[in-house]
Amino acid sequence: MPLAKQISDTKKKFITMPVGSGGKATKTFINTLLLPRFANARLNVLGDGALLDTSGDRLAFTTDSFVVSPLIFPGGSIGDLAVNGTLNDLAACGAKPLALSLSLILEEGLSLVVLEEVLDSIQAALNKAGVEIVTGDTKVVEKGKADGCYINTSGIGIVHQNSRNLGPKNISVGDDIIVTGPIGDHGTAIMLERGNLGIEADVKSDTVALAEPLGALMDQYGLSLHAMRDPTRGGLATVLNEMAESSNVGIEIDESQVPVRDEVRAVADLLGIDPLYIASEGRMVIFVNPEETENIVKILKSYPESENMAVIGKAVAEHPGFVLQNTSFGGQRIIDLLTGDPLPRIC
Residue 200 in the binding site for another protein (CB under 8 A): no
Contact 311, 301 (CB under 8 A): no
Check binding of 317 to another protein (CB under 8 A).
no
- How far apart are the C-alpha atoms of 267 and 213, rounded to whole Å? 30
Among 116, 132, 269, 307, binds another protein (CB under 8 A): 269
Question: In a 3-state reduction of DSSP, which class is residue 25?
Answer: helix
- In angstroms, rounded to a whole number, what is the distance separating the alpha carbons of residues 273 and 240? 18
Question: In the complex, what is the shortest distance from the CB of residue 222 to another protein, in angstroms, rounded to a whole number?
Answer: 35
Question: Does 12 interact with another protein (rule: CB under 8 A)?
Answer: yes
List Cβ<8 Å contacts ≥24 apart for 51-55.
Answer: 51/93, 51/159
Using the minimum distance from each CB to another protein, give the nearer residue, 134 or 173.
Answer: 173
- Binding another protein by CB under 8 A: which of 156, 310, 322, 346? 322
CB of 95 to another protein, least distance (A): 34
2-10, 31-39, 93-101, 142-150 -> range binding another protein (CB under 8 A): 2-10
Of the listed pieces 166-174, 195-203, 210-218, 306-314, which binds another protein according to CB under 8 A? 195-203
Residue 17 is a binding residue for another protein (CB under 8 A): yes
DSSP string for 144-202: TSSSSEEEEEEEEEEEPGGGGG-SGGG--TT-EEEESS-SSHHHHHHHHHH--S-----
How many residues form the binding site for another protein (CB under 8 A)? 39
Report how far residue 214's alpha carbon sits from residue 227's, in angstroms, rounded to the nearest whole number: 12
- Taking the complex as a whole, how short is the minimal distance between the CB of residue 239 and another protein, in angstroms? 18
Instruction: Tell me the residue type at 121.
Output: S
Span from 31-39, 69-77, 194-202, 278-286 in contact with another protein (CB under 8 A): 194-202
Q: DSSP per residue over 198-228, as a string?
A: -------------HHHHHHHHHHHGGGEEEE
Measure the CA angle with vertex 71, ends 83 and 280; round to 5°: 55
Q: What is the CA radius of gyration of the chain?
A: 20
Binding of another protein by 10 (CB under 8 A): yes
When binding is defined by CB under 8 A, the residue of 3, 41, 112, 113 that contacts another protein is: 3
Stretch that binds another protein, among 171-179, 203-211, 224-232, 315-323 (CB under 8 A): 315-323
Q: How buried is 345 (Cβ within 10 angstroms: 0-12 exposed, 13-18 middle, 19+ buried)? A: middle
Q: Is 345 in the site for another protein (CB under 8 A)?
A: no
Closer to another protein by Cβ: residue 2 or 56 = 2
Binding site for another protein (CB under 8 A): 3-4, 6-8, 10, 12, 14-18, 24-25, 196-198, 262, 265-266, 269, 271-272, 318-319, 322, 324, 327-334, 336, 339-340, 342
